[in-house]
Amino acid sequence: MFLCFTSGAHSCDWTGLWETDYGNMDLWQYDGEVVGTYGQDQGRIKGAVSSGTLIGTWSEAPTYSSPNDAGHTELNISQNCNNFIGRRRYNSAEDRASTWSGNRVFEDTNFGIDDADLFLGVVEGGEFVVLMPRQPLSSILRLTTIPMQAAQPPDSAEVDLTKYEGCAIVVLGRDGGGWVYSARVIDQAGPIFAAVLVQLFGDE
Give the residue-averaged pLDDT of 24-51: 87
pLDDT of residue 1: 36
Interatomic CA distance for residues 111 and 63, integer angstroms: 29
- List, in sequence order, every residue forming a beta bridge with 6; answer none if it has no partner: none
Spell out the domain ranges in the chain. 16-106, 113-201
Of 145, 152, 133, 134, the C-alpha closest to 179 is 145
Q: Are 142 and 158 in contact (CB under 8 A)?
A: yes
End-to-end CA distance of the chain: 60
The tens digit of pLDDT for each residue in 54-64 reads: 999 999 989 88
C-alpha distance from residue 145 to each of 92, 137, 175 (Å): 35, 22, 12
Q: Is the dihedral of CA 195, 171, 45, 70 positive or negative?
A: positive
State the Cα–Cα distance between residues 9 and 50, nearest whole angstrom: 8
Domain 16-106 -> CATH class = mainly beta
pLDDT band at 170 (very low <50, low <70, confident <90, very high): confident
The C-alpha atoms of residue 5 and residue 157 are separated, in whole angstroms, by 39
Check residue 78 and give its pLDDT: 93
Q: Which of 14, 114, 6 is nearest to 54 (CA)?
A: 14
pLDDT, tens digit, for every residue of 108-157?
544 443 456 788 888 999 999 988 876 655 589 999 988 887 888 999 99
Q: Is the peptide bond before 62 cis (omega within 30 degrees of 0)?
A: yes
Long-range contacts of 157-160 (CB under 8 A, 24+ apart): 159/183, 159/185
Calpha distance 171→204 (Å, rounded): 24
* Mean pLDDT of all residues belonging to the chain: 81
Q: How far apart are CA 85 and CA 139, in angstroms?
A: 41
Q: What is the pLDDT of residue 113?
A: 39
Q: Encode pLDDT of 64-122 as tens digits.
A: 888 889 999 999 999 899 999 999 998 755 567 899 999 998 665 444 434 567 888 88
pLDDT at 184: 85
CB contact at 8 A, 1 and 19: no
d(C-alpha 26, C-alpha 81), whole Å:
15
Report the C-alpha gap between 60 and 18 in whole angstroms.
18
Position 135, amino acid: Q
